[in-house]
Amino acid sequence: MNASQRIDQLIAELTDWRGQTFARVRESILDADPEIVEEWKYMGSPVWYRDGMIAVANAHKGKVKVTFAHGASIADPDGLFNAGLEGNARRAIDFFEGDTVDAARLSRLVRAAIEFNQGKAKKSGK
């Protein structure tokens, strides 16, 4: 089973609100750029890449968490980050039951993460 199929399976197994939220998050991430690659890492987590890691997502008991690898280094003008704000590298968005996934804003944040990754790659000469 490839990574995308494993993510499909994960979403299907989340039969409560978390499955719907996870599906919307995934769709928003993938809609941000056609070259985003899905992987399955860290003992069972969906991870999205484009010129480096963008984000990892997990469904927890009471939330869906999307953690951006370099969230502390990217602009968040829409104020989506609501967790991990004290960290030096990562920032996260915790979605709770009843929260709406704003696809346009989330996709904008993903594009900012991609731009950061691409800038980092240019600096390292890749």
Give the residue among 114, 99, 101, 80 at the shortest CA–CA distance from 25. 101
Give residue 43's pLDDT.
Answer: 83
Give residue 42's pLDDT.
Answer: 80
3-state secondary structure the chain: CCHHHHHHHHHHHCCCHHHHHHHHHHHHHHHHCCCCEEEEECCCEEEEECCCEEEEEEECCCEEEEEECCHHHCCCCCCCCCECCCCCCCEEEEEECCCCCCHHHHHHHHHHHHHHHHHHHHHCCC
Give residue 124's pLDDT.
Answer: 67
- Per CATH, is 3-123 categorized as 3.90.1150.200? yes
pLDDT in tens, the chain (126 residues): 999 999 999 999 999 999 999 999 999 999 999 999 999 998 889 999 999 999 999 999 999 999 999 999 999 999 999 999 998 999 999 999 999 999 999 999 999 999 999 997 677 665
Domain ranges of the chain: 3-123
Give residue 120's pLDDT.
Answer: 79
